Structure 1
C-alpha cells in the first residue's frame, strides 16, 4: 500500500492508531527527506495531543532503529548500560560505569551533552585534560574488552531518524510527548547493542518529568519498548527535587565523582550509584556486592584506566573558575527548600551549560551547594558557592538561586531517593 504524509497526519489527528506500514513509511520517508519538516511537525503535534499505544510506540522505535546502524559490542563479559532522563548534579554515570565494570560487567555508555539546566556527561568528562569523547567502533570495542567500561559520544550512524526528529521537536513544543521521548531514548540504546539496560527516570522540579504520574508513565513506556525488542530492562523512579550531591557543574562534578570512587563523597550520590549498580549487575547475572567494591577502591582503579584509555590524565589538576562568590543565608533558621531547577539554571547562567547545542561551556563554572534542606543555618552563613570565568553572570545567577532557596518555610517530608522500581 502506498502512503502519503497527509494521510498519516490525518489518521493521528483524528485519534486513530497508526498501522505498522504507516509508521515504517513515515519514519523512513522523513529520514530520506521525502516528508517535509512542516509535515513531521504536524504529525509530532498530533502524537503529542493524541498519544500512541504501547505497540505503536514500539513500532515507531523499531523504525527509528532501522534508519541507521546497529552496533555489535559483544565482548567476553555481559553488556549492560544505564540511561538517565537528566537532572541537576546528576554525575552518576561517572562513578557508576567503572564500578559496574569493576564488578565484572561491560558498560558501553554512549552519552550526550548538556542542554539548558541539565548537565551533559561528555561536557563533564571533557574537563579532564586530554580526555576525548569521539571514539571509533573498533576503539569502543577494544576498550570494553580491556577496561570493561567506555563513556563516549554516540557514533553518527545510530538512529539518524531520531537525531533529525529531536531537533524538530525542540522547536515545535513537542519534546514532552511521552511516546516520542521513549522512542528517542530506546532507539539509540537498543541500536547501541547492550544486552540489558537500567533506566534512571527522574521526577521533580529539576527533571523533565515534574510529576510522579508522568515519570511513571514514561518509565513504563521505556520498559515496554525494551521488552518488545528482547532486552532485559529495569527502570528506577528517582527524586530530582533537590540537586544530587553538592556539586553542579562540569569539573566540580568530576571531582565529586572521584571522591565517591575513592570511598567518600555525598551520601545521596553513593546511595544512587550503588542502587543502580545493583540493578545493572542483577540484569547481567553477576552476584557481586557493588557497595563492597566501591569501598575497596577497585572502582577507582577502573576509572583511572578508563580515563587513560581515552587520552585523559586522571591525576591532572581540573580546571578552576577565575571568579567565586558566595550566597549567604538572609536570616537564622532552617533551610526548608533548595529547588533543583533553580540551582541548575543558576549553574547554566554561570557558564556550566548551553542554550544551543553549538554553544561552548566553561569547565570550571557551576554551583556548590554547601547546605541541604533540613539543616539549621545562621544569618550570613554561606549556603552556596558560585563559580564562573565571566563575573558579569553573577547577578542573574544569584537572582535565580535566591528564588530557589527557602528558609523557615513549611517542613515537608522529602521523597525517598529511589521512589519505585519498574521491571519488565
Structure 2
C-alpha cells in the first residue's frame, strides 16, 4: 500500500479531465476511502468520472489490486486439490450454481462458490438455498476448508474480510447512478474472486433483457476486462457470453428454483438449464486440467446428485425435506391458440420480485415460496385456455402488481411471426 499522500481533489480532476491515475494514486485513494479519510461525496465524484471517462487496463488492474489489499485473502493450496470457481453476472431464473457446483466437484476438484444474496430482479444463490430446511449460508474459514477437503464443494456467504473497499464502493455506486461503469463492475467482481484464492475462474456474463448489461457489445467488453484482470493476477480465467433475453428454465423464485436444480441433478430438467450447466462445467473442468470429463454421464449416473446431497448435509440442510409451498397461486391462461412469440426476462424477474421472491433493500426478508412457474417457453405451440404460467405468493394482494409488470412481456401469435434467438452460449472469451 502506498505511503505517499495524495489530494483526492487532484485525483478527481485528473479523471474528470480524461487523465490517467498512477498506481500510487489508486493505492492511496482506495486505502484512504476504506479508512474514511476520503468521503463518500468525493468517491461518488470519482465514480462518476470513471463512468464517463473510463480507465485503461493498467488502472483497472491497479484498482482491483488495491481493493484486494484492503482486506484479507484466502489460500487453498493446503487442500492439495485444484480449485475452480464460477461467477455469473446474474439474471432471471439463473439457478445454474446449484447443479453446477456438485457436478464439477464430483470430478475431484474443489469448488469454493462464495455467493451473494439477491437485490432487485436478480435472485441470490444464498436466498435460493435457504429454502432448504436447516441449510446455513455462513461458515467459518475452517468449516469451509474442511468441507472442500471432505466433500469437494461449498456454496456459502463471502466473509466480510474479503475486499472491504468493494463493499463500501458497491453501496455507493448503487445510490449514485454509477453501477454500470465497466471498470467498477470488473474490479468489484474480480477483487472478491482473486482475494478468494481460487486457481481458476469461469465467468458467465449475461446479455439481453434480463441481464445487468443488456447490450452484447458492453457485455463482451466487461467479459474481456474481467478475463484480462484474472489472467494478469495469475488466475486462469475464461468467460462465456450467454443470452438472458428470456428467463432461464421454467422456475423463477427461490424454492421452485431449488426444485428445478434437483431435477437437473436427477438427469432431467429444462433443456436450457441443462445446456448451460454442461457448458460451464466443461469450461471449469478444462481450466482445472480435466478437459475430457464425461459431464453428461455424471448427471445421468447420479454422481453429481450424490455430491449435492453431501454438500447440503454438510451445511446443516436436509436434502430430503419438503421445500416451502406458497399459500396462494394465480394461473394465467392462453387467450388464443398459436405460438408463444416472446417471454421477456426482465418483466418476469420484476414480477417474481413483487410476489416476494426478491428484496428492494439488503435488509428485506425474502419469501422462499414466492415466484413464477412457466408452463411454456417462447417458441412453444399453445392452445387457447391452457396454463401459460402460475404466480405463487403468500399474500394474494401481491398478484395485481406482479401482473402489471407482465403486461406486454409475452405474446401469442402465428408460427410465421416467431423469431428465434441466437444460441444460448453466444461466445467464449479467453
251, 254, 257: which one aligns with 1:253: 257
Match of 1:105 in 2: 109
Q: Secondary structure at the match of 2:367?
A: coil
Quick check: 1:66 aligned with 2:73? no
| Offset of residue 2 of structure 1 | 2.9
Mapped partners of 2:173, 2:107: distance in 1? 39
Alignment map for 1:16-31 (pairs within 5 Å): 16-31=19-34
Q: Are the counterparts in 1 of residues 348 and 406 from structure 2 also a CA contact under 8 Å?
A: yes
Q: How far is the alpha carbon of 1:292 from its aligned partner?
A: 1.1
Deviation for aligned residue 1:379: 2.1
Inter-partner Cα distance in structure 1 for 2:255 and 2:408: 25
Alignment of structure 1 residues 170-181 onto 2, 5 Å: 170-181=174-185
2:193 is the counterpart of 1:163: no
SS of alignment partner, residue 110 of structure 1: strand
Q: Distance in 2 between matches of 1:187 and 1:99?
A: 26
SS at match of 2:82: coil
* Distance in structure 1 (CA, Å) of the matches to 2:107 and 2:12: 49
Q: Distance in 1 between matches of 2:293 and 2:108?
A: 8
* Deviations, residues 104-136 of structure 1 (Å, cap 9, x unaligned): 210000000000100000000000000000000
Cα distance in 1 between the residues matched to 2:274 and 2:198? 24
Which residue does 1:283 correspond to in 2? 287
Whole-Å Cα distance in 1 between the matches of residues 201 and 30 of structure 2? 25
The one of 191, 210, 214 equivalent to 2:214 is 210
Is the partner of 1:403 in helix, strand or coil? coil
Hey, what does 1:345 align to over in structure 2? 350
Match of residue 416, structure 1, among 415, 423, 429: 423
Q: What is the Cα deviation at residue 328 of structure 1?
A: 1.2
2:15 corresponds to: 12
Greater mean deviation of Cα atoms: 351-360 or 408-417: 408-417
Residue 90 of structure 1: how far off its partner (Å): 0.3
Aligned residue in 2 for 1:196: 200
Judge conservation of contact 1:352–1:361 (CA < 8 Å) in 2.
Answer: yes
Deviation at 1:378, TM superposition (A): 1.9
Kept after mapping to 1: 8 A contact 2:339/2:418: no
| In structure 2, distance between residues paired with 1:196 and 1:186 | 12
2:386 to 375, 381, 387: 381
> Residues 338 and 405 of structure 1 are in contact (CA less than 8 Å); yes or no, is this contact kept in structure 2?
yes
Give, in angstroms, the shift of residue 406 of structure 1. 1.6
Match of 2:334 among 308, 329, 346: 329
Distance 2:20 2:412 in 1: 50
Q: SS state of the match for residue 316, structure 1?
A: coil
402-411 or 291-300, larger mean C-alpha shift: 402-411
Cα deviation for residue 402 of structure 1 reads 3.1
> Which one of the candidate residues 95, 98, 106 is aligned to 2:99?
95
What displacement does 1:294 show? 1.2
CA distance in 1, matches of 2:282, 2:240: 12
Asked whether 1:32 is paired with 2:35, we answer yes
Q: Could you list the runs of 5+ residues in structure 1 that have no partner in the other structure?
A: none
User: In 2, are the aligned partners of 1:71 and 1:191 still within 8 Å (CA)?
Assistant: yes
Which shifted more, 406-415 or 396-405?
406-415
Structure 1 Cα separation of the partners of residues 80 and 106 of structure 2: 14
Cα shift at 1:411: 2.1
Q: 264-273 or 395-404: which moved more?
A: 395-404
Contact 1:327 1:398 in 2 (8 A): no
Question: Where does structure 2 lack aligned partners over 5 or more consecutive residues?
Answer: none
Cα distance in 1 for residues equivalent to 2:340 and 2:295: 33
Distance 1:289 1:193 in 2: 27
Q: TM-score w.r.t. structure 1 length?
A: 0.99
Give the C-alpha shift of residue 419 in structure 1: 0.2
The whole-number CA distance in structure 2 between the counterparts of 1:179 and 1:202 is 17
Question: Which deviates the most, 409-418 or 35-44?
Answer: 409-418
Aligned to 1:395: 400
1:7-45 CA distances to partner (integer Å, 9 max, x unpaired)? 110000000111111110100000000000000000000
Q: Matches of 1:109 and 1:94 in 2, distance apart?
A: 10
Matched, 1:55 2:62: no
The answer (yes or no) to whether the contact 2:201–2:238 under 8 Å persists in 1 is yes
Matches within 5 A, 1:239-318: 239-286=243-290, 287-318=292-323
- TM superposition outliers: structure 1 runs of 4+ over 6 Å: none
Match of 1:222 among 223, 226, 231: 226
Aligned length: 423
Please give the alpha-carbon distance, in whole angstroms, between the structure 1 residues aligned to 2:48 and 2:407. Answer: 36
Whole-angstrom distance in 1 between the partners of 2:5 and 2:288: 43
Deviation at 1:403, TM superposition (A): 2.3
1:137 aligns with 2:141: yes
3-state SS of the aligned residue for 1:293? helix
